[in-house]
Amino acid sequence: MKKIIPRTSKPEGKKIKNKYLLIFILFFSSAVLALEPAQILVIANSDVNESIELANYYCKARAVPAENILKIPLGIGLSEQMSRQRYDNVFAAAVRNELTQKRPPGQIKCLLTLYGVPLKVASAGAIKNSEQIIPKLTETLDAKNREFKIAIHRLSQLGRAEMADPNPPPEKFEDALKSLPEKTKQAEKRIQYLDNADERTKQLAQLSELSKRISSLANAISTLRAEIDKCKGIETSAAVDSELSMVLCGDYDLYRWQKNELQNLPSWMPAKTLMVCRLDSPSLEISKGLIDKAISAEKIGLAGNAYIDKRYLKISDNPVPYSYEYYDRCLSNLAEMLRRRTNLKVVVNSNESLFPVNSCKKTALYCGWYSVKKYIDAFEFIPGAVGFHIASFEAQDLRNASSSNWCPALLTHGITATIGPVDEPYLNSFPEPDKFFAELLDGKTLIEAFYRTSPFNSWQLILIGDPLYTLNIK
């Protein structure tokens, strides 16, 4: 019999060395592969002089090679929207040609759009042969809706007859879905009141099968409705920047969004998706200031206060993912993280009313909600301040200094970087605030922090600020 030799300390020591070697490699790779100025392609509207001026200003300030400026004729004036055809045939075609024909593969990682470049791509319009396809889909949808209503009605009749729900099912599909958990709960309760045990068992089995049937019908209805909207070209518009991030991805479905492949992806992993950021605002001067304030804050450090605007005093332990309560939990987590990891004073407002006017002195970081298109002038932003307001449409009217939308107002009042949607984005498209700011605290550049936490591309959100900006909190 062979003797069992005890494990010596050498393999364990080797394991420890390998562990530290791996940590070193990961740290070194992260540092080496961080975004460099030469990896940024600066995109200007050649028909707008201020756009060219801003391109030159940025390249000089950040040591981006002058040959990394791509000038595209996109029209005189400060149009916010371009047609899908012009985007495809002029804008995206020029960018794709620059990246694939004039530069080595992978040389450019980041696209920077500027003041003068439109913000939004219009709807793609109805698909080919939609007039033949839509009636067939609609016919099927109507049949499924009828089945769904019958199933909901059947649910209300289960159990003791005298306890049956007298109210008809809600007419709207969304309302019927919202009422379903309570209707199911009430059906189960009525069944338990049945006197006959065999009948209780029988109807509980019916309830189980009916619940599965309703779920299947709901999924079918949702899919059919999406297909009809897709055929009509509904929800096929997008932010120019978000669409541009997929300029090298070939053909893809324009309906709603595409998953962002860069989310949580290590920086050294290859990807077709490009990071896209924007230097834009109500004026050329404010846009230049985004660069100046970022560089200044990197040198002298960011000090001041962090303001978090929540909505709920109490939050359940397991909020539904991407619900209002879920994002409020993210804001609570953000406040806790900032207290733990920075010397900033963290101020949290948990009332439904927002921070009042002139109440947020020396604002370094901000995140909150929910005042749609109604900016509250509460903030005294210091150079380098980063923040965003979680609400719809807030990047619209971006070049209007008098706009009450949050993005133009935040920029006018001195913020250095922000995020906002050019149309209705749906709540689940926003980066989770605690994760986004955690990436910034970890030393990621502004644009890397955004793309590591943003869920979707080919959709509505834009990032405004210097893509190279790196937080330096005192």
The sign of the CA dihedral 29, 35, 37, 38 is positive
Over range 303-327, report the average pLDDT. Answer: 88
pLDDT band at 33 (very low <50, low <70, confident <90, very high): low
In order, the DSSP letters of 52-113 are HHHHHHHHHHHT--GGGEEEE---SS--SEE-HHHIIIIIIHHHHHHHHHSS-TTS--EEEE
Measure the CA dihedral 365/368/374/375, to 10°.
-10
Mean pLDDT estimate for the chain: 91
- The percent of residues in the chain predicted with pLDDT above 70, rounded, is 93
Over range 79-106, report the average pLDDT. Answer: 97
pLDDT band at 164 (very low <50, low <70, confident <90, very high): confident
- Could you tell me which residue, 167 or 145, shows the higher pLDDT? 145
Most confident of 126-140, 156-170, 379-393: 379-393
